[in-house]
Structure 1
Amino acid sequence: MSAEGKSEDLRYFPLLDSVRKRPAMYFGGIGSLAINNAIYELIANAIDQYLMGHATKIKVVIDGSIIKVSDDGRGFPFDVNAPIEECSNLVEFYCLYRHNLPTADHHAPHIHILAGGLGLAVVNAASEYIKVKSSDGHRVYRQSFGGGQVRSACEAESVVSDKGTELELVVDRELFQTSLPDMPALRKTLFELVHFYPGLTIEFQEERFLTERGLLDLAFVRYSPSSAGYSLGVPRQFYYEGADSGVQIQVAALGCFDSTEYKSWVNGIETVEGGVHIDGLETAFIKAGWRPKLALIHVIMHDPQYAGPCKDALCAPKVANVVEKLVGESLAQLLTDSH
């Protein structure tokens, strides 16, 4: 494959000119929310580390136009060769070339935040600079990128240190109306995000977000009891985490009502029109004889073909069966224990 990205299958391609000519097409605009989307891409990479069991904490610090995102994962693959000669390591490859695969290295599961993934190459193309500092526990690597280019060669120092990666980003003001993120929207997203991944800590400025009960805690935040129901005390509640056939689910439900409000996400993205995961969840509740007032479900699909951005509705048929089976078994046990 040449520097122009030519290959027989066109899996990888440069996109510098495209991003810089039409940044709004990639970032959803050129205002403060677009800066948020760049930040979400850096955070999504850290959450992948959490899902693979390599990270427990993500820290986001905004200091004027300087954005820092760090994690305690296993570090970036500076010691891995790139698939093309033009890049001296795999990190350079990630920062220069976009791929049309779910992930560049086929890792799964892979999640996105809000609208979907951009890729480091897109963020690099729209940046003034990205400084990367990363450690695998035995070596500390440093390298700078910016404007879609490599700004400095990789430097490595042999030293025992904590594992993790820090990315320092400043976006290119020539492409955006501002270099500052929308702080309230960013905080709201990070607060909600931590509920999808119980046990993950997200630090944002001076705050720390952490939940052990995941979507159940979020359900209590969203729950709006009627005046009659409120007088009855704590509502009926249900929480479940489980996995089967490459499908990982987290479910929370609260209250009793004549109709149920469903909220659903797949690989971190809200499925606003529902889909088969809602069908499976609704069937499980009907069989259990319970109609909750609020039900939340997050599905993580481990098959890489589903790791990309999800559409408004999930259409993978096997997910309905997995959700109905796992939730149905847990509900049956819950109802048996309560009698």
Structure 2
Amino acid sequence: MAQSGNPIQPANVSQYDASHIQVLEGREAIRRRPGMYIGSIGERGLHQLVYEVISYAVDEHLAGHADSIDVTITADGSIRVADNGRGLSVEVEEPAGKPAVERELTELSFGPKPRTGYWVSGGIHGVGLSVVNALSSRLTVEIHRDGHRWTQEYEKGVPITALTRHEESSGHGTTLVFLPDGDIFESTLYSFATLSQRLRELAFLNQGLAITLTDERPQRPVRYHHIDGLRAYVAHLNPYPPSLVHSPAIAFESENEDKTIFVQVAMQWNTWSTGGFHSFANSTRTHEGGTHEEGFRTALTDIVNDYAQRQRQITEDDEDITAEAIYTGLTAVISVKLAHPLVEGSTRTKLSNPEAGAYVQEVVREHLTDWLDHHPDEASAIIRHILNTST
């Protein structure tokens, strides 16, 4: 089994140009039926616009080209998202005669984003920047790439200026500023708390990525940057050290031999809460679980029972420890990154890739068994805690 400390790397991350564009549908369909693309025209859909823009910046991080994202709620209610990635492509593609960035902002694409050269993309919906542009009363893109600064402006998804090359620049990255269209959304007032929660989550899930959120309305800025990744996430979810059954959290990660699935897990038992599972696919919360979470649960139940029997904390004549008892007080984060996430469920947040479930089972069986064998004192405390909850 191959292992890696970094998420899956794409095969050709340097190839990011107009040839990767795929055309599906235009702005009029988006403006007529916005709920089909962002879920609603209420608060959920309003914030989804921000998440779509951020997902492109996260893609640059996953591809190894960006380590910071700065998000700002401006004084007039616009959103500004800046990253230090390569910058959206400014290459003009024939025969359309349009810059790649203009096509990215005006042509609709769903799902994983092969057009951008990313093997793994942030998010599991991925409706793209064109939806954000079409549902914004105005949008401005600024790019530092190919030795210059470039800008272009849009109104309701329509370019009102050509892509313009400005002064020379040694920088790199993309800044998008957009104002949601008040004729479409029930409200255009962004919640600092809602954005802050999601950005902190993304920082936990994407180890080493620094994300800042600033509110110019005003609100104090926040910055999230977690070198410890999911272990830090579990520590955040389990804030009371005296209640911990063991410390630090158990954490492990692995990439399969084909480099098509990357799994990260962190888990810790405590005595103060009932616990909870937090599962993600490509950094998007899978609220309805799915194959990756099922794989984790199946492996965990088998491993705990096997270890308890081997250590004679239960005998072969005893009934197996129930899953309910094992889960009590357990806080677990399961994150998978894969190229083509398949989703279902009432909110389209249930992962259904069978290969993800199988590989999570394999990873958990190997790494958790190894951890228990090498930490006998902590392992014994965990089994005692579980047995106490089952009585």
- Give 1:69's match in structure 2, choosing from 72, 81, 85: 81
Distance in 2, Cα, partners of 1:221 & 1:333: 25
Q: Which range moves more in the overlay, 188-197 or 42-51?
A: 188-197
- Give 2:255's match in structure 1, choosing from 199, 222, 243: 243
- CA offset at residue 141 of structure 1? 1.6
8 A Cα contact 1:128 1:170, kept in partner: yes
Report whether the alignment pairs 1:322 with 2:359: yes
Distance in 2, Cα, partners of 1:270 & 1:87: 39
Which runs of structure 2 are paired with 1:1-339 in the superposition (5 Å)?
12-63=23-74, 64-79=76-91, 81-82=92-93, 85-100=95-110, 102-103=112-113, 105=115, 107-112=118-123, 116-136=125-145, 138-157=147-166, 159-205=168-214, 206-223=221-238, 230=242, 234-235=246-247, 237-244=249-256, 245=258, 246-255=260-269, 261-289=276-304, 291=326, 293-302=330-339, 305-306=340-341, 311-339=348-376
1:45-100 CA distance string (max 9 Å, x none):
10010000111000001113221100010111112x44x63351111111111124
Q: Which range moves more in the overlay, 194-203 or 277-286?
A: 277-286
Give percent identity, aligned residues only. Answer: 27
Which residue of structure 1 aligns with residue 383 of structure 2? none
Q: Secondary structure at the match of 1:175?
A: coil
The structure-2 alpha-carbon separation of the partners of 1:101 and 1:272, relative to structure 1 and needing over 3 Å to count, comes to closer
Q: Secondary structure at the match of 2:212?
A: strand
Distance in 2, Cα, partners of 1:309 & 1:138: 44
Distance in 1, Cα, partners of 2:28 & 2:202: 32
Larger Rg: 2
Distance in 2, Cα, partners of 1:254 & 1:231: 11
Distance in 2, Cα, partners of 1:314 & 1:101: 14
- CA offset at residue 38 of structure 1? 0.9
Letter in 2 for 1:298: S
Letter in 2 for 1:88: K
The structure-2 alpha-carbon separation of the partners of 1:232 and 1:74, relative to structure 1 and needing over 3 Å to count, comes to closer
Letter in 2 for 1:148: G
Distance in 1, Cα, partners of 2:78 & 2:292: 39
Distance in 1, Cα, partners of 2:33 & 2:194: 24
- Normalising to structure 1: TM-score of the pair? 0.84
1:282-322 CA distance string (max 9 Å, x none):
243234327461221011113xx338899433222222222
8 A Cα contact 1:139 1:160, kept in partner: yes
- CA offset at residue 248 of structure 1? 0.8
- CA offset at residue 196 of structure 1? 0.8
The structure-2 alpha-carbon separation of the partners of 1:239 and 1:14, relative to structure 1 and needing over 3 Å to count, comes to same
Letter in 1 for 2:118: H
Distance in 2, Cα, partners of 1:85 & 1:309: 38
- CA offset at residue 331 of structure 1? 2.0
Letter in 2 for 1:97: E
Q: Aligned Cα RMSD in Å?
A: 2.8
Q: Secondary structure at the match of 2:126?
A: coil
1:169-206 CA distance string (max 9 Å, x none):
11222222333212221111112221111111110011
8 A Cα contact 1:94 1:104, kept in partner: no
8 A Cα contact 2:85 2:172, kept in partner: yes
8 A Cα contact 2:110 2:127, kept in partner: no
Letter in 1 for 2:361: E
8 A Cα contact 1:236 1:255, kept in partner: no
8 A Cα contact 2:63 2:118, kept in partner: no
1:11-35 CA distance string (max 9 Å, x none):
6233322222233443333344432
- CA offset at residue 256 of structure 1? 6.2
Letter in 2 for 1:66: S
Q: Which range moves more in the overlay, 184-193 or 198-207?
A: 184-193
8 A Cα contact 1:33 1:181, kept in partner: no
Q: Secondary structure at the match of 2:123?
A: coil
Distance in 2, Cα, partners of 1:77 & 1:24: 29
Question: Unpaired runs of 5+ in structure 1?
Answer: 1-10
Distance in 1, Cα, partners of 2:235 & 2:281: 21
The structure-2 alpha-carbon separation of the partners of 1:315 and 1:232, relative to structure 1 and needing over 3 Å to count, comes to closer
Letter in 2 for 1:190: L
- Normalising to structure 2: TM-score of the pair? 0.74
Distance in 2, Cα, partners of 1:247 & 1:123: 29
